[in-house]
Every structure is written in C-alpha cells, then in structure tokens.
Amino acid sequence: MADVFSIIVAVIFFLVSMIPVLILLGIVFVFIVVPILMLFLKIINQYEKGILFSFGKYSGTRGPGLNFIIPIFQELRKVDTRIMTIDIPKQEVMTKDNVPVAIDAVIYFKVVRPEDAIIKMEDYTYAVAQYAKTACRDVVGNVEMDELLTQRKRIADDIEKIVDKETGEWGIDVTSIKLQNIELPDDMKRSMARQAEAEREKRATIIMSEGELAASDNLAKAANILGTTPGAMHLRTLSSLDDVSADQTNKLAFFIPVEALRAIEGFSSLLKKKGE
C-alpha cells in the first residue's frame, strides 16, 4: 500500500514539474506551428477562384474549399467571380450636333476566366472602367442630342456591345451598362422648355379650332332643321323663354313673329323689283 502511495506522489510531482514544459510547448505550437501550417493551407470561398503560380508560372485554377500549397515555391491569388459594379464618373461629351452634355454611367461585370483576368491584365477593374469611359465618349459623340435623350437604352446597349467585345479577351463578361444621368446646359434646358410650351400651345390651338369647326357644323345643321321644319322656331322660342325665366332679374323682351319678318322680307323684295 505504501508503494502505491509513493508511486502516485511521484507521478504528481512529475506532472507538476512538467507544467512549465507543457506551457512552453503550447506557446511554441500556437505561435510557430500554427502559422507555419497556415502557410501550407489556403481557404477559398464559394464565390472565389484561386490562381496558382508555381515558381512564377501558372499551374492551375483552384476551386472553393481548403487547398494545400507549398510556401515560397507556390503562390495562390484569389479572384472574386461575383458581379461587380463600377461607376463611370461624370464626363462632358460633345454630341453629333455639337451640344455639350455631361454623362455618368455604371457598369455591371463579372470575371468568367480568372486566369486570363490575372495573367493578361494588371488591374482588370481599372481597365474595364477606362475602356467603358472611352466607348461612352465614342458612341455619344456619334448621335444627336434628341436621339440621346429618347434612345438612352439603345445607346447603352451599343456601349455594352463594344466594351464586352474587347474585354471578353481579358476573361471579363460585361452584363450591363446603364446611363444614369444626362445633364444639358442651362440655356439648352430653357430652349427645350420654350419649345415644349410652344408645342403645347400649338396642340391647344388645334384642338380648339377642331372644336369650333365641329360646333359650326352642328349649328349649320341645327339652323337648317329649324328653318325647314314647320313650328320648330316656335318651339325654340318657347325653350328660350323658359331659360330666360329661370333668372330672377328683371328683363324686357320683344318677340316678333317669324311670319312678320318673312312678310317684311317679301315686301322689301317687291319694292326692289319695282325700283328696277
């Protein structure tokens, strides 16, 4: 029994004496071993691709997950394959009809071949932005101001085709280009406002004249019907009396029969014939 107790005490003393050694080993593992292991292991996210270079030479593309590399001899560069956006800053462009306009746009693109984007271009994001800026100036410079304002989507599609064709060799896919703002000079805005106002007045005048023409046709038809229908004028007179009587103000009206007017007209015609 004493031997067992002495063995346990010896083990305890041994473990206690090993605590500094264990602490030292833990420190070495955390600060030396783990960083070294991290140099050999690289994590690539689901939305990324890894371009592997061995001794500076392209040696493959790695997918998402945990990847093993050899430090110093190999390098892994990550490329984001999600759709990215670039703002084209506002720039002044002269249209085909010599009107200066300020235009800004936004580009939507993604990397479809990471190896080409890394190997062929130093900074593919900057390159896409600069090429889109130049293409925007070229396309807008070949259209007139009215076409630019009314055909914005078509012009943006033309810019997209030009940029996508060139950047396709870089492993870039331009999904869309949108023209955000088109600013005109202040004097041009005032001229357009006056033009729009004149156009509205023109339409109003045309509509008014068409209404007067239709009203005159209806009045001519009504006069023809009243003149050829017996008793129609009497009914119209009674209707007018009813409308006048609705007003409470004092009025004095003189009514002459139509037959008397016709008799006067006939007497006047007879006198003219005798005079001739």
**What are the tens digits of pLDDT across the range 21-74?**
667 777 766 677 667 777 788 889 999 999 999 988 999 899 898 888 888 888
The average confidence (pLDDT) of the chain is: 79
Q: Which residues contact 91 (CB under 8 A, 6 or more apart)?
A: 102, 103, 104, 133, 136, 137
Across the range 79-85, mean pLDDT stands at: 93
Q: Which residues contact 82 (CB under 8 A, 6 or more apart)?
A: 47, 110
- Residue 195, pLDDT above cutoff 60: yes
Q: What is the pLDDT of residues 139-188, one digit of tens each?
A: 988 988 888 888 888 999 999 999 999 898 999 999 999 988 888 877 76
Tell me how far apart the terminal alpha carbons of the chain are, to the nearest angstrom.
171
Residue 43: what residue type?
I
Inter-residue contact 115 to 159 (CB < 8 Å): no
Which residue has tokens 């994590």?
43
Q: Taking the CB of residue 38, how many other CB atoms lie within 10 A of it?
A: 11
Across the range 234-259, mean pLDDT stands at: 63
β 100-111/172-183 pair status: antiparallel
Looking only at Cα atoms, what is the longest distance across the chain?
Answer: 173
Is 84-184 CATH 3.30.479.30?
yes
pTM of the model: 0.61
| Residue spans of beta strands (DSSP E) within 95-163 | 100-111
pLDDT bin (cut points 50, 70, 90) of residue 241 is low
Q: Select from 132, 131, 155 the least CA-distant residue to 143.
A: 155
